[in-house]
Amino acid sequence: MELNNSKAKRITWWQKNQVKISPWIFLAPGLIFFSIYVIAPIFVSIGISFYQWDGLSPSIYVGLQNYIELLDDEYFYISLWNNLKWLIFFMLAVPIGLGLAIFLNQIVFGIRLIKSLFFFPFVISQVVIGLIFTWFYQPNYGVIAPFLNLIGLEGFSILANENTATYGIIFAGLYPQIAYCLILYLTGLNNINPEQIEAGRMDGAKGFHLFWNIVLPQLRHATFLAIVVTVIGALRSFDMVAIMTQGGPYGYSNVLAYYMFEQALSEYGYRMGYGSAIATVLFTIMMFYILFFIYRMYRNEREDNN
């Protein structure tokens, strides 16, 4: 009797808690790897930023020294400023992508082929795009050289000029990013409720009004997603900079992500502490944005549930 009882008890414990425990069992592998490879490195990296370390010799604790040095570092401000430029001008990808999506969202012969051609930049690797645009910008014999000659800028090199280099890279970066936003909007347009448009038409809405008040609100999710990927793309812009200018001329097209790499891991770098300090600053900027993003998502979901 007693034996039976204890057995029953054990079963009931599992049965009682099964619903609570099983999600954690399923989540466990993901959580473990996420903590080892994402969460833990964040703290380790913040920790390293308080040290002076070349990756070989023993590290020396320097407190806030790296951050103090950052405040006095011209190149840091240039990189920060360039990150801001990226954030602002990279956003152009969203309206341009939307415009192209609406243009392509029609049923004519061969539209599938044309759509796939517009997707193409997104398929090509960033590195390849960077290389191709570097050739485009090549002074004297690049593709755009004749146009520059027309406006009297003979032999002008976009990537070698401190005032234009960043814009040159952002422009190259826009090329695949527009395609990305275009894809997001095209799928969004597929999900638009035709009845609402019909109803709008009946009520006399047309042209811009129809678009602004009926189509765009229904694309809200696509817009949100497009902005999110574009902001993240702008903040982590690294590959384009690495391929096209390596932060040059003399550091004027650097962004935080590349500057961090340059200080910590490049041939002349190996200042792990300083690189980590830059990474921490970049992380903080991203964190603000990510928190806002999570808050929006949470709010949206609550709205949907209500």
* Shortest spacing between CB 261 and other proteins, in angstroms: 12
The token duo for 300 is: 């949206």
* Shortest spacing between CB 80 and other proteins, in angstroms: 17
Q: How far is it, in rounded angstroms, from Cα 205 to Cα 207?
A: 7
Residues 6+ apart with CB under 8 A from 196: 214, 218
* Shortest spacing between CB 250 and other proteins, in angstroms: 4
Q: How far is it, in rounded angstroms, from Cα 173 to Cα 243?
A: 12
The token duo for 230 is: 């574009």
* Shortest spacing between CB 56 and other proteins, in angstroms: 4
Burial code of 191-213, b = ≥16 C-beta within 10 A, e = fewer?
A: eeeeeebeebeeeebeeeebbee
By rule CB under 8 A, what string of x and - marks binding of each residue 43-82 to other proteins? -----------xxxx-----------x--x-x--------
Residue nearer to other proteins on the CB measure, 265 or 297: 265
Out of 251, 256, 275, 280, point to the residue binding other proteins (CB under 8 A): 251
Residue nearer to other proteins on the CB measure, 139 or 200: 139
Burial code of 230-253, b = ≥16 C-beta within 10 A, e = fewer?
A: bbebbbebbbbbbbbbebeeebbb
Q: Is residue 171 involved in binding other proteins (CB under 8 A)?
A: no
The token duo for 165 is: 């280099």
Residues 121-160 that bind other proteins (CB under 8 A): 137-139, 155-157, 159-160
Q: Is residue 163 involved in binding other proteins (CB under 8 A)?
A: no
DSSP secondary structure code for residue 246 in this structure: T
Out of 59, 236, 239, 269, point to the residue binding other proteins (CB under 8 A): 269
Q: How far is it, in rounded angstroms, from Cα 56 to Cα 53?
A: 7
Residue nearer to other proteins on the CB measure, 55 or 217: 55
Name the residues that contact other proteins, by CB under 8 A: 54-57, 69, 72, 74, 137-139, 155-157, 159-160, 162, 245-246, 248-251, 262, 265-271
